[in-house]
Amino acid sequence: MVEQAIIADKLTYSYNNLLAVDHISFHVAKGEILGFLGPNGAGKTTSVKMLTGQLKPKDGKAILLGLDVAENIERVQSEIGVCFEETNLYQRMSAVENLNLFARLFNVKSFNAYSLLARVGLSGREKDRVENYSKGMKQRLMVARSLVSKPQILFLDEPTAGLDPTSSEAIRNIILEERKRGATIFLTTHDMMEADKLSDRVAFMNQGKILALDKPLNLKQKYGKRALKAKVASNKGSLEIREINLDTPQTAEEIQKLFHNEKVVTIHSEEATLEDIFIKITGRGLTE
């Protein structure tokens, strides 16, 4: 039987009369990466706050590593690492001081801040004040801080937002390394490509509800349209696009016709992206 690291059971939260999270239920297996996707105001952050013990649910419960979060906050929080979207480092401290402070709060014995900083690519700048770091460096330090206690569950909120491709790739590699170590990763992101690349399963959240939760491939098969896209040279010399749906009985015949009747310049398969599916399910984009 698969051991569950996170169980959300009808989690509900409202701010005054505004229902932010509406009875959501899901589970994340140990060692799994769950991509948690949704537009701003969908209820993602409130959900994460309930899962991490920052907010007490108005209804339902969150269970992490078999412990009811509301009743075991200290034990749960000693087993999780959280990387926030907004930079919340001690700016007047150095990177080493930041990490050492959190290591002491987690009571981590024999902690080596330098090796962790090397892992996130901050070697040589360990003793600089954080206020002198670039955004990418701060973000890498935030990720490093969330790893200080070698957490069993890692909550990452937009870990690569606004970063250059190199920094983003470095963070993605760390996420995969952490999964390899056995950590469960709850990844909140707007970046559909990233979610697709990293997540074992993705959940689409909108208006406080989870509208879909499955493996990316399954979602694409269920909601998406597979197609072939070809660029062909017309008689006038310009390029025209031909699209062939791969899921109809006439597909083979249409492909044959294409190659027989037209001058194909380029051809490639095209599958639906998570963003297409998200728009299809929710009727709105992630950035709306």
Partner 1 sequence: MNSRRILVLLGKEFIHGPKNFMFIWAIVAPLAFTLVATLAFGTLFSDKPKLGILDEGDSQLVIMAMDIDSITTREYQDVISLKQATRSGAVDMGIVLPQNFDEIVAKKEANTIEAYIWGESLAKDRIILPTTIANLTRELADQEVPVEIITVTLGDEASIPWSERLIPFLVLMGVFFSGLMLPSTSLIEEKQKKTFEAVVITPASISEIFIAKATMGIVLSVFMGIVILLLNQAFGANSLLLVAVLFLGAIMAVELGLICGALIRDITTLFTIWKSGGILLFGPAIVYMFPQIPEWIGNIFPTYYALQPVVEISMRSGNWSNISLNVFILIAIDIILLFFIMLAARRLMQRT
Chain residues binding partner 1 by CB under 8 A are 52-55, 73-74, 77-78, 80, 82, 84, 86-93, 97, 101-102, 104-107, 145
In the complex, minimum distance from the CB of residue 104 to partner 1, in angstroms, rounded to a whole number:
4
Question: Could you give the CA distance from residue 7 to residue 50 in angstroms, rounded to a whole number?
Answer: 11
In the complex, minimum distance from the CB of residue 69 to partner 1, in angstroms, rounded to a whole number:
12
Spatial CB neighbours of 246, under 8 Å, sequence gap ≥ 6: 226, 227, 228, 269
Nearer to partner 1, 89 or 195 (CB): 89
Nearer to partner 1, 90 or 114 (CB): 90
In the complex, minimum distance from the CB of residue 81 to partner 1, in angstroms, rounded to a whole number:
9
Q: Is the dihedral of CA 236, 241, 247, 252 positive or negative?
A: positive
Nearer to partner 1, 105 or 193 (CB): 105
In the complex, minimum distance from the CB of residue 106 to partner 1, in angstroms, rounded to a whole number:
6
In the complex, minimum distance from the CB of residue 145 to partner 1, in angstroms, rounded to a whole number:
8
Nearer to partner 1, 65 or 89 (CB): 89
SS3 234: coil
Spatial CB neighbours of 211, under 8 Å, sequence gap ≥ 6: 204, 205, 281, 282
Nearer to partner 1, 91 or 134 (CB): 91
CA 2 to mean position of chain CA atoms: 22
DSSP at 94: B
Can you name the residues that pair with 210 across neighbouring β-strands? 205
